Amino acid sequence: MNTLLIVDDVRALADQFAYDLRRLMSAEAIVATDGDAALEILAREPVDFERL
Amino acid sequence: MTFRARMSVAFMIAALVPLAVLAHGVRREVTQRLTAQHQRRVNTLVDIVRQDLGRESASIAARLEILEADLSTDDRFRLGAVRGDVAHRRYVLDWAERAMEIAGLSMLRVYDESGRVVSSGHFRNEFGRDDARLLSRLAAAPAGQALVRVKLPSASFLALTRTESVTVGGRSFTLVGGTTVDSTFFTRLGRDGELDVSLALGEVTVPASHAVERLPLVYVDDTSSNLATTQLTIAPRGGELETLRQDLDRWVAGSFVLAAIAGVILVVWLAAGLSRPMATLARAALSIDFTTPEMDTVAARDDEVGTLARRFAAMTRRLRAGAVRLRDAERRATVGEMARQVNHDMKNGLVPIRNVVRHLSQVQQTSPHELATVFGERRGTLESSVTYLDELATRWARLTPRGDRLAVDVNSIVQDVVTATRDAYATPIHVQLQPDLPPVLGDPLALRRVLDNLVTNALQSLTGDSGSVTISSQSRDRAVRVTVTDTGSGMTPEQVDRALRGFYTTKPQGTGLGLSVVRRLVADHGGEVHIDTTPRRGTTVLIELPAHSAPTHRSKAMHS
């Protein structure tokens, strides 16, 4: 299963994208709302796709 | 060199120098003409004097001829002088005295062939005196006319003499007779005081500029062996020409001085009339304000300076109108950009809600039994969207300015802001405020928001515990300047540009509108914002607001 990182400063939008990706694509989606958080996740988690 | 000094120097060169040359020329020309006129007049009078002398000389000669005629037939003189008759010797000795009285002469002598005195008009005892040398000199004088110094026991006098030969009893005698040349004689020659006539022995040097004429005469003195030359010096009485010259000099010098003084006063008045409105124009140009009462006075002039002032004022009005239009356009552009951003932000909040609602509708139709489960899963999204929109509304509400315009003491607002922020930050804030700062006409709340933004930005830009923030105020060129300086992270030119355009921030809770709002609010007050920043070294933000001359509105009073 692929893991996707969703980065958006609007938390609701990021959650929306992540939910739909999990529901429709059965993918693992991780959410970040700023660049620093996204870099921390990238350093910690293996991510296959990023959507900024 | 000032404009007034330049005009004065130009006046000296262009007016005073030609005036001095003109005065000198007039003086020289008039002097020459006066001298020439006097010289002609003196020459005419000298001719008259010469004629008078000739008539006097001819009169003496005529009287001597009469005496010669009388003497040539005088038998008693013949007996006494030729025959040596002792009885007539007394008659011979007294003849000259009687004849001198009858003929109206001042001196008369009768000489024999050897030059000895036979009869003298003054002294009997001159008889037999040898005067041959005198007779020979008189014979050499032109027309027998000469001045002879006649010596008396007590004094001597000058006489204009002529000689006449006479034959008595076969012997030759010479008559020498003349009239006195004294002050009375000179006065008579001087045409009743019109001329000064004097006698000078030898050559007399007279300046060429003086209207003086000299009339040479032969002079005979017993002590000299030769004929001497004497001169009658003839000049206008009382130095009339010299008086005229002095009067002319005084008038020319006085006229020149008066003209120079009048010229200096005129040029000072003209220079002041030009330099004063030009200085007013310069001051008005410095502040770009051509609407002051002083400028109205200058603009009312009907000369070139007035035209220039009116054109400056018209240009300023056009510039102000253009600035207003530009500000309106900028405001409209800002509002448009804000509207686009609001649209974008609202969509960011609404899109998740719409999607969740669509998803829930879809679940209700296809799997109604899962609706509660799905709603529970999507509830967080709905709540975060609502929270986001609520925060967004709060932020936009903070950006709405009020429209009150009062005379505001900027120093008071600075102190209020510093007091309010010192408690929230440990960073030292240095305050350097200029006393008696002129007020600013504006919205106290808006200006408070401007300074709040700048001070907060400065404090938040500091990294770690080091660094400081300095706030200063000063007035310059009819404007109030407030400077906020920090030693924080600074910005790149691109970051400054984006920050001024709005919706850009590096702070998690920032709206990204701080500097753009500052710029807009300052522009609403007719001011300007200048930013000087260097990454990792700090930022200085300068806001410049037009000063206002009305009484100050204290921030504290506004708060109460």
Question: How many angstroms separate the first and last alpha carbons of chain A?
Answer: 20
Please report the ipTM that was assigned to this predicted complex. 0.77
B373 lies within 8 A of chain A by CB: no
User: What string of H, E and C letters represents the secondary structure of B433-460?
Assistant: CCCCCCCEEECHHHHHHHHHHHHHHHHH
B461 lies within 8 A of chain A by CB: no
Q: What residues of B are in contact with residue A15 (Cβ under 8 Å)?
A: 352, 380-381, 384
Vertex B413: Cα angle to B408 and B416 (nearest 5): 150
pLDDT higher for B108 or B307?
Answer: B108
CA A4 and chain centroid, separation: 5
B97: left (phi over 0), alpha (psi -120 to 50) or beta: alpha
Question: How many Å apart are CA B549 and CA B552, to the nearest integer?
Answer: 8
Mutate to test the interface with B, among A7, A9, A15, A33 (most CBs of B within 10 A): A15
CA B259 and chain centroid, separation: 13
Q: Do B355 and A20 touch (CB under 8 A)?
A: yes
Question: How many Å apart are CA B130 and CA B124, to the nearest integer?
Answer: 14
Q: What is the mean pLDDT of residues B227-235?
A: 70
Which tens digit of pLDDT belongs to each residue from B196-209?
777 766 555 555 44
pLDDT higher for B225 or B166?
Answer: B166
Which tens digit of pLDDT belongs to each residue from B44-87?
877 887 888 888 999 999 999 999 999 999 999 999 999 889 89
Percent of chain B with pLDDT over 70: 86
What are B180's strand-pairing partners?
Answer: B159
Task: Return the amino acid letter for B363.
Answer: V
- Per-residue pLDDT for B506 more than 70? no
Task: Return the amino acid letter for B282.
Answer: A
Mutate to test the interface with B, among A8, A9, A16, A36 (most CBs of B within 10 A): A16
Rounded to the nearest 10 degrees, the angle between the axes of helix B89-103 and helix B17-72 is 140
Buried (b) or exposed (e) across B132-143, using 16+ Cβ within 10 A?
Answer: eebbebbeebee
